């Protein structure tokens, strides 16, 4: 056997080692793909009932939301009509405008008096508490 024969044997052995390595990699890759397939199947089986529950929940929530939307629309229509009627009434009746202005002024004065009473009451209750506290400490 000459040097060419030895080189041929070495090349054949190297190719055999490479073929075994490639076969091992392919076998490992096929196992990984099988595991991924099993995981995807498991996830699919678990999420399908969950998605059905979410769909049911959304349907149940949408019913009351439609009712609320109708009520809100009705309230909006009523408040618009009241606003239009009030504006028309006040525009046509100067006396009504003066009365409304007087009522607003009276309401503001009443509110100011209530605030003043509350402030005065708060100060006097603090004073009486501190006086009582001083007597108890003695």
Nearest to 36 by CA among 46, 26, 44, 25: 44
Residue 138: predicted pLDDT: 45
Contacts of 97 (CB under 8 A, 6+ apart): 90
Per-residue pLDDT of the chain (138 residues; tens, 9 = 90+): 788 889 999 999 999 999 999 999 999 999 999 999 999 999 999 898 899 999 999 999 998 998 899 999 999 999 999 888 888 877 777 777 777 778 888 888 887 777 777 777 766 555 545 444 444 444
Tokens in use for 76?
Answer: 């909006």
Phi, psi of 93 (to 5 degrees): -120, 105
Residue 23: predicted pLDDT: 97
Domain extent listing, the chain: 1-92, 94-138
Residue 36: predicted pLDDT: 95
Would you give the distance in Å from CA 49 to the centre of its chain? 24
């Amino acid at each position: 056997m000459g040097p060419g024969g030895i080189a041929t044997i070495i090349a054949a052995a190297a190719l055999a080692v490479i073929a075994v390595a490639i076969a091992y990699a392919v076998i490992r890759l096929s196992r990984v793909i099988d595991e991924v397939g099993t995981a995807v199947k498991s996830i699919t089986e678990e999420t399908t009932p969950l998605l059905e529950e979410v769909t049911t929940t959304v349907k149940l929530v949408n019913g009351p939301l439609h009712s609320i939307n109708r009520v809100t629309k009705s309230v909006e229509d009523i408040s618009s009509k009241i606003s239009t009627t009030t504006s028309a009434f006040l525009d046509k009746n100067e006396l009504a405008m003066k009365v409304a202005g007087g009522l607003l002024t009276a309401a503001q004065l009443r509110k100011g008096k209530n605030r003043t009473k509350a402030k005065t009451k708060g100060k006097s209750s603090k004073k009486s508490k501190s006086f009582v506290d001083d007597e108890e400490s003695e």
